[in-house]
Structure 1
Amino acid sequence: MPMISSNPDTLPATDEPGPDLSGLRLALFSGNYNYVRDGANQALNRLVGYLLRHGAAVRVYAPVVDEPAFPPTGDLVDVPAMPLPGRSEYRIPFALGPRARRDLIAFAPNAVHVSSPDVAGHRAVSWARRRQLPVLASVHTRFDTYPRYYNLAWIEPILTAVLRRFYRRCDGLVAPSESMAQVLRDQRMNYDISLWSRGVDRDTFHPGRRDMAWRRENGIADDDVVIGFLGRLVMEKGLDVFADTIDDLTRRGFAHKVMVIGEGPASAWFQARLPHAVFVGFQGGTDLGRAVASMDVLFNPSVTETFGNVTLEAMACALPVVAAEATGSESLVENHVNGRLIRPGAIHSFAEALRAYVTDPALRARHGAAGELRSHDFSWDRINRAVAETYLRLIRQKRAQR
């Protein structure tokens, strides 16, 4: 059975003390642990690294591909999966598979973590419930909002009901923001919902990464005000709203430059839609920190994120953020303090918020500084410790129930 092991020490750690996790044996199920890079799977890899450093035993069950986006942290066991129709870069686990089941039995976990409500995740929950093992589910994206971007909004109530059945079979949920946790409570997904927020690597993201020479190399003048997009180029990130807003700003005669960081299946559409924008493609590590810090304001119109890693990274680089008033962003952006929160899809309001930052450098600096100060609250080790303590609590509760 394919199994890949990687050194968890490749992920940054801090010196903050943590709990003794030597008694924890965790089976983690993910639909995408490392084959396509996104904020959710990078958070999972950081969590596994933290658990291993504090003595836990962890086994990850997820699809394995020949050329993953990055090496996995910990031991990775392959599960059967097939390409997602129309989005072949993603794979859908459709079973646990006999070999993964044998490995599970041999590993003998005392807790199970499911991070995706796919078929393999459902099977993992059933496997754990039969053995009276606690199950924690982490919520990483607003799956219930995706159909509206593909003219299938009528499916959303059905999808919400399917998700409710999945999450109610778990012993607890962790959500990346209080706003997302409240959405889950309102949807009656579970009655044990705690927070697993996100951290930011301050060695990578800080104002000192700003590089004027790099900007010039990409055709950006020193006095250009750069409105940035950061993320995977897929329609559910609000690319249409971003483009329509930029059109509105341009028609009103406010000079600016657009920089797009990322790649994805909608790249060609976005480049055709914004022919004058600077597309710098995928950036990683310190290159990503340089690109983000070289913007002047981040525009994040997406409503599908449950946290908004890109928003936090921009804040750490002292950028003001204009974002949709939605889960995730609401927990990071304080309106008129470190950015603006705008009603989703309100093109003219988005454009007006951007206009204020384009034309007022003092406002940009003041709100950027406030965001940078706010970003100091997000320590990866402190955040991951909360998840580790949730595992231990659920194990204690399950033992008491027995």
Structure 2
Amino acid sequence: MSPPPELRVALFSGNYNFVRDGANQALNKLVGYLESQGVPVRVYSPTGSTEAFPATGTLISAPSVPIPGRTEYRFGLGINARVRRDIEAFAPTLIHLSAPDLLGFAAKREARRLGVPAVASFHTRFDTYFQFYGLGWFRKHAENILRRFYSDLPEVYATSEGFADVLREQGISEHIEIWSRGIDRARFNPQRRSLEWRRTMGIADSDVVIGFVGRLVLEKGLDVVAATKAELERRGVACKLLIVGDGPARDTFEAQAPGAIFTGQLSGDALAVAYASSDMLINPSTTETFGNVTLEAMASGLPVVAALATGNNCLVDDGVSGALVPPGDIAAFADAIAVLIADPARREAAGAAGVERAQGYDWDAINGGMLTHYRAVVANYARQRMLAVPG
């Protein structure tokens, strides 16, 4: 029996380490794991002037332009001669695509030219974004682009079984495997709770704090957060709203949520302290493929009140570790939060259930599964090429 083909991975990203979001952090975790296992990796991505966090591995800048109105993101334009020479010198045996932009389509063509398999991970529900920016009419066209990008690949990696079902229903791909997300439990845990930190934020020891963590952009459901807080105030339910994050919609959000505490963007241990020092998390987003903030909050001992949508329903056990409510239903969000505010014992039990659930999300185990998928794809591709050779 011949030895398995060598694995050398070329990863194509949308904004590898120039935007701090769950997708980019997952890709960096994957690269770090692969390199720790002796797998050579090279990353090709648009780059900007300011990194959001240090890149893991070797990053090659690809041609790109800033996206109008969202200049923190850049749109990959494809592969130029410089990048092509670098790819050829690296000689990948597998290409991993992570964004259906012009760079992703070009990398897919490059895989065919080089005679190597291409796989892809699906991180973001791009098709749902347009409704938040007055472009709902474009959604069907976007779905057609996604089908063209993903449907003929040997494997596509979704973040959960629920999201995989959505992709199958939309006809995106029939060859879907799961690449979930992990949690650093040494960082995110209930022991990070700090009354001193709360006091520096103007939070009394007896205050019940509703936390929201994420980029301050329309698609995160900021209007639902603000409206829910207003509804709680109308009902006379006392609580504080803590907003962790930053983004282009911050000014609008601050006007919608007067009295809320805005920390700006936090990371590392500071972020972990902010989670654990809250009393629950609200996550109204319907655009996530996996609720990274939901998992981080659960690991930190918080009950989570979230929209019943992909990214949340794979994590939150309704009535056990929190509540899942109809998307955009302000009264339902307020009802679920009011119940938790009124019952500290219920909050504590839900938080403990979340901590237990989070223990099952280990980064090394999850990325080890991806390495197994990679090796199987490369071996199967080599076998198919051998069978295709006449004689």
Q: Deviations over 1:128-149 (max 9, x none)?
A: 0233311111011110100111
Match of 1:90 in 2: 73
Q: Secondary structure at the match of 1:331?
A: coil
Residue deviations 1:191-218 (CA, integer Å, cap 9, x gap): 2111110001111100000000110111
Counterpart in 2 of 1:348? Answer: 331
Alignment match, 2:358? 375
In structure 2, the partner of 1:39 is 22
Aligned letter for 1:365?
Answer: E
Residue in 2 that maps onto 1:59: 42
Residue 237 in structure 1 maps to residue 220 in structure 2: yes
Match of 1:164 among 147, 151, 175: 147
| Cα contact 2:97–2:119 (8 A) shared by 1 | yes
- CA gap of 1:390–1:300, structure 2 versus 1, over 3 A, is same
Cα distance per residue 1:257-310 (max 9 Å; x no partner): 000000001111111111200101111111110000000000000011100100
Give the equivalent residue in structure 2 for 1:185.
168
8 Å CA contact retained: 2:7, 2:378: no
For 1:339, the aligned partner's letter is G
TM-score when normalising by structure 2: 0.96
Partners in 1 of 2:263 and 2:54 — Cα distance? 24
2:230 to 242, 247, 255: 247
SS at match of 2:128: helix
| Other-structure match for 1:275 | 258
Q: Is the 8 A contact 1:22 1:55 kept in 2?
A: no
Q: Which amino acid aligns with 2:298?
A: M
Q: Which amino acid aligns with 2:42?
A: R
In structure 2, relative to structure 1, the CA distance for the partners of 1:240 and 1:401 (3 Å cut) is same
1:309 aligns to 2:277 (yes or no): no
Deviates more, 1:319-328 or 1:60-69: 60-69
Q: Does 1:217 align with 2:204?
A: no
Contact 1:21 1:54 in 2 (8 A): no
Identity %: 52
1:325 maps to what in 2? 308
Give the letter aligned to residue 27 of structure 1.
A
Residues 382-397 of structure 1 correspond to what in structure 2 (within 5 A)?
Answer: 382-397=365-380
Aligned residue in 2 for 1:266:
249
Q: Does 1:77 align with 2:60?
A: yes
Shift of 1:22: 9.4
How far residue 97 of structure 1 moved from its aligned partner, in angstroms, is: 1.2
Partners of 1:277 and 1:220 in 2: CA distance: 11
Q: Is the 8 A contact 1:136 1:173 kept in 2?
A: yes
Aligned residues: 383
Deviation at 1:245, TM superposition (A): 1.2
> Does structure 2 retain, via aligned residues, the 8 Å contact 1:58–1:74?
yes
Q: Secondary structure at the match of 2:281?
A: strand
Aligned-residue offset at 1:183: 0.6
Aligned equivalents of 1:396, 1:328: Cα separation in 2: 32
Retained in 2: the 8 A contact 1:37–1:69?
Answer: yes
1:174 alignment partner in structure 2: 157
Alpha carbons 1:207, 1:293 under 8 Å: kept: yes
- Name the residue aligned to 1:361: 344
- In 2, the alpha carbon distance for the partners of 1:31 and 1:97 equals 16
Letter in 2 for 1:267: R
How far did residue 224 of structure 1 move?
0.5
Supply the AA of the counterpart residue of 1:305: E
Distance 1:371 1:33 in 2: 30
**Corresponding residue for 1:4?**
none
2:388 aligned residue = none
- Counterpart mapping for 1:69-148 below 5 A: 69-148=52-131
The aligned counterpart of 1:201 is 184
Residue 313 of structure 2 aligns to a residue in which SS? helix
Aligned partners of 1:130 and 1:344: how far apart in 2?
44
Structure 1 position 106, deviation (Å): 0.8
Q: CA deviation at 1:244?
A: 1.0
SS of 1:330's equivalent? Answer: coil
Is residue 208–residue 240 contact of structure 2 (8 Å, CA) maintained in 1? yes
2:160 partner amino acid: S
DSSP-derived class of the 2:285 partner? coil
Q: Post-superposition shift, 1:323?
A: 0.5
Structure 1 gap segments, 5+ residues each: 1-19
Conservation of the 8 A alpha-carbon contact between 1:132 and 1:398: no
Root-mean-square deviation (Å): 1.3
**1:207–1:317 contact (8 Å) kept in structure 2:** yes
The amino acid of 1:34's aligned partner reads: N
